Amino acid sequence: MMVEAFQIIGGKDLAGELVVEGSKNSTLPIMIATLVAKGKYVLKNVPNLRDIRTLVKLLESLGLQITKLDDHSYEIINTGLTNLEASYDLVKKMRASFLVMGGMLAYSKKATVSLPGGCAIGSRPVDLHLKGFEQLGVKIHIDHGYVYAEAEELIGNEIILDFPSVGATENIIMAAVKAKGKTILENAAKEPEIVDLCNFLNKMGAKITGAGRSRLEIEGVEELHACEHSIIPDRIVAGTYIIAAILFQGKITVRGVVREDLASFLSKLEEMGLKYQIEDDVFTVLSKLEDLKPGKITTMPHPGFPTDLQSPIMTLMCFIKGTSEIKETIFENRFMHVPELNRMGAKIDIDGSKATITGVDHFSSAEVMASDLRAGASLVLAALKSPGTSIVNRIYHVDRGYESLEVKLQALGANIERIKVDA
């Protein structure tokens, strides 16, 4: 069987502008939230990604009618759900698919959803989702890899999450908007993508306050209606592109940067000596790569340093003289890109959840393998800085989160192409 890989001839100067697409992690729950109420929805600034296409198939299997209006816009018509089972074949491809449970419960008080799949970066159990649903009056039964959920009535309640899980927060919000009475969600996730979902639901007629804070209040309503919405820019893509701009000495500018959504990331770069400017939403690097000094990072739930930018910034740290440290606190398996970077000449040591990075002068080309979405991005960045020909395998991971990455890089002068290789 043949699969796709990136062939990259690195070591070339890159220059130009990278434009940030809409947020994948915002689009997925917002598309799922169209399950909650009948009507015609229009979503704009939707990224053209593999994960979106996967979700479209799942939503269509539940009865939604979805039309792609252009590269970045969708029309979604909900005339009523015709199926209340999300099958393993569709859910296994992407963990975010499990969010359909909240949408289906809000619509029909009943749902059957396969336990999810996704990147192999951690166990990410769904128990927080299920506990939250139970506190809203849902009876849960798990059998043969499926979760069966049903409620006579959704009843508002006070729910305290053990951990500020983004997925659990989103799933519970979607169910709670149709629950009778008020739901108070404590220790809720605070990511910008949560705020975007709440803004979308409020446009539909929901009554959610506190989005972006750890305490959310959701006053249940009987009726919701369809609406139009434009997705926020993808802060993780923006952060990845900013790292590319630094690696290539500021000759790349990045359009679509929302400063407040990247506050902790930008703060760490400032600590490391980076000077930059943001005019409107355009980011420009004012420092040279050699001006930067080592840094120490601990990944944390938002507003802390995002785990999704851990692997891309590790590639940057490899080119900074001295010793940098990264402590990963979110996912237990998120250092799987380290052996691949070391194959390219990095000096990274792992001790449990801590990575110690000793800066090197240069990388060399190699054949490497992406273990997950953000690891794939870090390896592409590394290959672009490595003289010679590198092959990055398993790029289906990269396609899940970066729109037409090779096309955008080619426009900057990168020698990168998609090739077929043996699986």
Residues belonging to the binding site for phosphoenolpyruvate are 24-25
Binding-site members for UDP-N-acetyl-alpha-D-glucosamine are: 95, 124-128, 308, 330
CA distance linking residue 183 with residue 179, whole number of Å: 8
Q: Within 10 A of 10 (CB to CB), how many other CB atoms are there? A: 23
Residue of 396, 401, 395 lying closest to 367 (CA atoms): 395
CA distance linking residue 393 with residue 149, whole number of Å: 39
Q: What dihedral do alpha carbons 337, 29, 103, 93 form, nearest 10°? A: -30
Q: What share of the chain is helix, strand, coil (3-state, %, to 5)?
A: 35, 30, 40
CA distance linking residue 200 with residue 206, whole number of Å: 9
Q: Which of 119, 198, 227, 318 is catalytic?
A: 119
Structural tokens at position 119: 């990147």
Hey, what amino acid is at 135?
Q
CA distance linking residue 68 with residue 313, whole number of Å: 34
**243 with 315: CB under 8 angstroms?**
yes
CA distance linking residue 318 with residue 70, whole number of Å: 40
Binding-site members are: 24-25, 95, 124-128, 308, 330
Structural tokens at position 171: 């799933």
Is-cis flag, bond preceding 339, omega within 30? no
How many Å separate Cα 206 from the centre of its chain? Answer: 24
Structural tokens at position 256: 């679509």
CA distance linking residue 143 with residue 228, whole number of Å: 38
Q: Within 10 A of 47 (CB to CB), how many other CB atoms are there? A: 24
- Concerning whether 198 is annotated as a catalytic residue, the answer is no
- φ and ψ at 355, to 5 degrees? -110, 130
User: Environment class of residue 157 by beta-carbon count within 10 Å: exposed (0-12), middle (13-18) or buried (19+)?
Assistant: middle
User: At 374, is the secondary structure helix, strand, or coil?
Assistant: helix
Residue of 367, 350, 384, 376 lying closest to 120 (CA atoms): 376
CA distance linking residue 59 with residue 52, whole number of Å: 10
**9 with 384: CB under 8 angstroms?**
no
Give me the active site residues, please: 119
